[in-house]
Amino acid sequence: MKKPGVQALVEQLSAAHPLQSTGGNYKRDFISAAESVYPAEHVEKILQEKLFIPNDSRFKLDRYLQSAAELSVQNDLKQNPSARNFEIDKKIHPPKNVEAFYEAGGAVVSLEVKCAEEKFPDPNSLVLKSAGRVPDFSKKAGVLHELFRDSQLGHVLETDKNMDNAMKDFLLSANAKFSPSSSVNSLNILFVACGNIGNINNWWLTLHGSHELFAVDSYYPKEEFELVDIVILSNLKFLHTEAREHHDWTLKNAFLFPCVNPHGRKSLVGSMVRDGLGVFNHHLYRFYNYVPKNPLAPSSAFLKIGAYYVESLDENEKLRYFPVQPPKKNRTGA
């Protein structure tokens, strides 16, 4: 008996599933991506386990978004002729596997995908956030909360949780999947699917904020994630939540911001970074040359990714990466 194809399985979904509720190109391009990436003999099992297709009675959004992010990255690489010998779920460090493996130029690339869990404060609140691990931040935040509690102006103050331990877990998980014998032609990438540009800035701070993971005085042992060469921060989660109708299940219109691990292995070669990242439209080198219009302002370090987005990208680029503009949020730093 012939097994049902991807389209037939998708059509069995309830109206609440993102593929059905969005429909249109989002659903059509998903079908094409799944047929292209997933082995035909296993596609029915993969769709159910990863994306709740066709039975979505136990649908969980976070799990769907993780699998959707993986498929978008995999499909983009599968379609890219510059990514040679592409494989999914390759066991680089058995028994663990990585989401994607490919070769580009002289680089042999292992890539792991993580989807960030993010909380969104009330857009009408004032939001307090630390630029890294600020000493006595909780105590300082408590004082401010007391002041706002007695305020006659009606403002609500929320503290935005530092997500550095979540990023640390991403790094450790990816590090365990990359080969301990990574050599001069290897490139190991952790790809993180984030939300809007503010979220990306927050995740960047978990790496480059005060005492954070990529800082000289990192709060966590650097050797524990030294096999991770690059962290790519992206808006892929945004595309799968706020802008589904604009997403084609590739990275063609995704905002990709690579961060090089300064504590990484000594055998990493710059040309392999160039070759391995060359399959993507990314902002690594452009950001290297970026100088904030007001470099002495305290916010130039705290909001550096946001400033880069505002000052360096033209309007067409902003619309390309963020076709649905996120709501504006009030923020204050400590």
pLDDT in tens, 212-261: 999 999 999 999 999 999 999 999 999 999 999 999 999 999 999 999 99
Q: Which of 47, 150, 154, 104 is nearest to 280 (CA)?
A: 104
Q: Is 297 helix (H, G, I), strand (E, B) or coil?
A: coil
Statement: residue 331 has pLDDT above 50: no
Residue 69 binned pLDDT confidence (cut-offs 50, 70, 90): very high
Q: Are residues 42 and 70 in the same domain?
A: no
pLDDT at 175: 98
- Check pLDDT > 80 for residue 139: no
What distance, in Å, lies between the first and last C-alpha atoms of the chain?
Answer: 64
Is 53 found in the same domain as 68?
Answer: no
Q: Which burial class, exposed, middle or buried, applies to 272 when counting CB atoms under 10 A from its CB (0-12, 13-18, 19+)?
A: buried
Q: What is the pLDDT of residue 159?
A: 58
With cut-offs at 50, 70 and 90, classify the pLDDT of residue 161.
Answer: confident
The answer to whether 193 and 141 have CB atoms below 8 angstroms apart is no
Q: Which of 32, 59, 86 is the last residue of a domain?
A: 59
- Judge if 263 and 185 occupy the same domain: yes
Task: Provide the residue count of the chain.
Answer: 334
pLDDT score for 294: 82
- Looking at the structure, do residues 1 and 89 belong to the same domain, yes or no? no
Is residue 74 domain-shared with residue 195, that is, in the same domain? yes
Residue at 153 is within a domain: no
Residue range 5-16: mean pLDDT, rounded? 97
pLDDT given for residue 119 in this prediction: 72
Last residue of a domain, one of 59, 92, 108: 59
Domain count, the chain: 2
Single-letter residue type at 252: K
Choose the final residue of a domain: 43, 59, 75: 59
Res 163: pLDDT: 86
Cβ pair 214, 207 in contact under 8 A: yes
Lowest mean pLDDT among 42-56, 146-160, 163-177: 146-160
Residue 147 lies in a domain: no
Say if residue 174 is in the same domain as residue 53.
no
- Bridge-partner residues for 233, per DSSP? 192, 257
Q: pLDDT over 70 for what percent of the chain?
A: 83
Do 70 and 216 belong together in one domain? yes
Query: Is there a single domain that holds both residue 198 and residue 93?
Result: yes
Q: Examine the domain organization and report whether 36 and 183 are in the same domain.
A: no
Q: Which domain holds residue 215?
A: 60-119+160-333
Residue owning tokens 């890294």 = 132
Q: Are residues 173 and 212 in the same domain?
A: yes
**More reliable by pLDDT, 89 or 210:** 89
Q: Are both 71 and 16 inside the same structural domain?
A: no
The answer to whether position 11 is within a domain reads yes
176 and 55 in a common domain: no
